[in-house]
């Protein structure tokens, strides 16, 4: 059984302190041998004390001002040995050397203290910043939940009376359509179309609000099956427009909420069909390839429609951004819903396009665990 992290850290600190004490003991013993050799055997005062700075510097780095005891000890040894050995050198010169040891020890200790305080302050700032980020994240999550609940409420409050309006309009047209004048019938048709458009807007906003949050638990999903389901829902329109559809023979499973993946594919297909233009040979091709990041795959959704101007590529994922004329259907929220959904599961989405040559959308998705040929 492995030791708890705190116990392991304490043991490591003890071993480090033991190694440092052992090394410093060896250095001090070497200093004493140098003093004995030069003062008592050679009777000389050659500048061997340069070696003394090594234990002084190490002690200051390891123990800060407590390490000055090493400099004080070596200074005392030098002075006492100088007096006892009676070498022919002024004691004031020895005192200057001792003062240098104490000065170096003090400078090193002060630098180490400031370094430690700076590290502690940086760590404190990092902890405070991390706490602030966590608090801000919780606040944003709460705001998102409130926004989602608000979107649900608004959508229900808007769509409920619209359904009633549409129902009454249909009832009037059914019962009184023959006796109504042509202008009155046109007014009722306009009311119904306006109600349907507002209902579509409310549902699109609700879909956008839901896109950033999972509708269910993520589990292993075959993206090809989701693609087939999405294309089958629009098979009548695809066949009527003569669109050639190319799908990969097989795709690796992904770890996602299937409803969100279906939402992404549905919006991408809707965008391709919407901006296919007058191409006599329309084509939609879906493929995939391993992503640079391990455990992820990149799905590409390409068409040969109108394409997008280069200076407008940065705007395609903005909400309510319509890159074409107002005559085109839609609210300009489909691709922003795609981005919100993909970023909601931690992926990325981008587009490459040239005017008249179609557009290719790329999105990354986490692959499910398991073996699959690449």
Alpha carbon distance 336, 263 (integer Å): 12
The dihedral over CA atoms of 214, 215, 218, 223, expressed in degrees to the nearest 10, equals: -100
Distance CA 34, CA 261 (A): 78
Alpha-carbon torsion, ordered 314, 320, 323, 328, to 10 deg: 160
State the pTM of this model: 0.56
Structure tokens that stand for 115 in this block? 């370094």
Write the pLDDT tens digit of every residue in 332-362: 778 888 998 898 888 999 999 988 889 999 9
Provide the residue ranges of all domains of the chain, joining segments of one domain with +.
Answer: 5-134, 219-366
**Strands 244-246, 283-290: pairing kind:** parallel
Rounded CA separation 358/243 (Å)? 14
| Dihedral sign for Cα atoms in the order 144, 145, 149, 150 | negative
What tokens appear for 346 in the block? Answer: 């931690």
Report the relative pairing of strands 296-303 and 359-366 from DSSP bridges. Answer: antiparallel
Q: Which residues of the chain have pLDDT under 70?
A: 1-7, 39, 41-48, 86-90, 155-156, 209-216, 322-331, 370-374
Contact of 211 with 263, CB cutoff 8 Å? yes
CB atoms within 10 A of CB 345: 20
Query: Residue 191's CB: how many other CB atoms inside 10 A?
Result: 15
pLDDT for the residue numbered 370: 63
Residue 65, both tokens:
């001002």
8 Å CB contact between 306 and 277: yes
Question: How far, in Å, CA of 199 to CA of 163, rounded?
Answer: 8
What local confidence, expressed as pLDDT, does residue 1 receive?
47
CA distance 88 to 325: 102
The pLDDT assigned to 161 comes to 79
Are the C-beta atoms of 78 and 94 separated by less than 8 Å? Answer: yes
pLDDT of res. 326? 46
State the pLDDT at residue 3. 55
CATH code, residues 219-366 = 3.30.565.10
Q: Where are the beta strands (DSSP E) in 281-357?
A: 283-290, 296-303, 349-353
């Amino acid at each position: 059984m492995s030791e708890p992290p705190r116990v392991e850290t304490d043991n490591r600190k003890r071993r480090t302190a033991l190694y440092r004490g052992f090394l410093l003991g060896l250095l001090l013993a070497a200093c004493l041998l140098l003093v004995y050799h030069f003062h008592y055997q050679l009777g000389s005062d050659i500048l061997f004390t340069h070696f003394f700075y090594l234990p002084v510097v190490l002690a200051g780095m390891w123990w800060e001002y407590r390490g000055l005891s090493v400099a004080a000890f070596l200074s005392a040894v030098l002075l006492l040995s100088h007096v006892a050995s009676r070498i022919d050198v002024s004691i004031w010169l020895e005192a200057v050397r001792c003062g240098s040891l104490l000065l170096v020890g003090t400078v090193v200790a002060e630098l180490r203290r400031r370094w430690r305080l700076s590290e502690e302050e940086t760590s404190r700032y990092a902890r405070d910043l991390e706490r602030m980020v966590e608090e801000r994240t919780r606040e944003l999550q709460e705001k998102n939940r409130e926004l989602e609940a608000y979107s649900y409420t608004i959508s229900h409050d808007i769509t409920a009376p619209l359904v009633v309006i549409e129902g009454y309009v249909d009832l009037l047209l059914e019962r009184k359509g023959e006796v109504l004048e042509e202008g009155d019938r046109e007014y009722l048709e306009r009311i119904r179309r306006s109600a349907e458009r507002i209902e579509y807007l409310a549902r699109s906003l609700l879909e956008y609000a839901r896109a950033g949050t999972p509708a269910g638990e993520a589990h292993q999903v075959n993206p090809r099956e989701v693609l087939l389901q999405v294309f089958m829902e629009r098979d009548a329109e695809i066949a009527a427009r003569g669109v050639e559809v190319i799908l990969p023979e097989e795709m690796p499973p992904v770890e996602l909420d299937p409803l969100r993946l279906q939402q992404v594919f549905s919006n991408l297909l809707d965008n391709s069909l919407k901006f296919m233009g007058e191409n006599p040979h329309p084509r939609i091709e879906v493929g995939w390839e391993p992503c640079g990041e391990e455990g992820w795959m990149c799905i590409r959704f390409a068409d040969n429609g109108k394409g997008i101007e280069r200076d407008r590529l940065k705007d395609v994922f903005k909400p309510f951004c319509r890159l074409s004329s107002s005559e085109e259907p839609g609210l300009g929220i489909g691709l922003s819903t795609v981005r919100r959904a993909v970023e909601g599961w931690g992926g990325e989405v981008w587009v490459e396009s040239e005017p008249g040559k179609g557009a290719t959308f790329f999105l990354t998705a986490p692959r499910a665990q398991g073996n699959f040929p690449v």
